[in-house]
Amino acid sequence: MIDSERILLRMLEETDLEARVKWFNDPDIRQYLVSDYPMGLARTKKWFQSTLTDNSKFNLSIVEKSTGRLIGMTGLLNIDAKNAHAQFYITIGEPEFRGKGLPDEVIPAVLEYGFTYLRLNKIYLWTLLNNARARTVYERNGFKQEAILRDFLYCRGKFNDIIQHCVLQRDFNEDND
């Protein structure tokens, strides 16, 4: 378990999956996802079972510390030990918790875990062009834009450009010394 002032990060549990489905099917969230949805609970349960033995994924639930309420999810995907990199993601699923600065607690905690315990050299993320607000949050937390990948992902019926940001371990360590 990883904690900060207002939140706890714990491993994703099967009891969290209904909320995950609800969030991923929410149009306010779905418009920013870099994959096709909607998704159903049965498919999500099958996905969850496959992740239990998959070392390339580190899925966490974001829980409000004071109440124990599940409010979002975060983690690392595509963990590549040989090349020492992984893809970061975060979703604040419950609307009343958005805009409260919680990613500023979550992001450093996940980066610290990735760089310290997984010994990663690079953590990257992707955003669609329509997600400028998220890019502001990521850049405030040390991510730097490194590429625009044109027509990189096919989702929602068309090819989409994505913006890739990253944090290198050396930059993270310098910023946190």
CA-based nearest residue to 169, from 110, 123, 126, 104: 123
**CB–CB of 104/140 below 8 Å?**
yes
Span 67-93, average pLDDT: 95
Q: What pLDDT does residue 109 have?
A: 95
Mean pLDDT computed over 71-96: 94
Query: Per-residue DSSP letters for 92-146?
Result: E-SGGGTTSSTHHHHHHHHHHHHHHTS--SEEEEEEETT-HHHHHHHHHTT-EEE
Identify the residue whose tokens are 């998220």.
134
Model confidence over 92-143: pLDDT tens digits?
988 899 899 999 999 999 999 999 999 999 999 999 888 899 999 999 999 9
CB 164, CB 124: distance < 8 Å: yes
This prediction's pTM: 0.90
User: Which residue(s) pair with 70 in the sheet?
Assistant: 63
pLDDT in tens, 2-53: 888 899 999 999 999 998 888 887 767 666 666 656 678 888 888 888 888 8
pLDDT score, position 29: 67
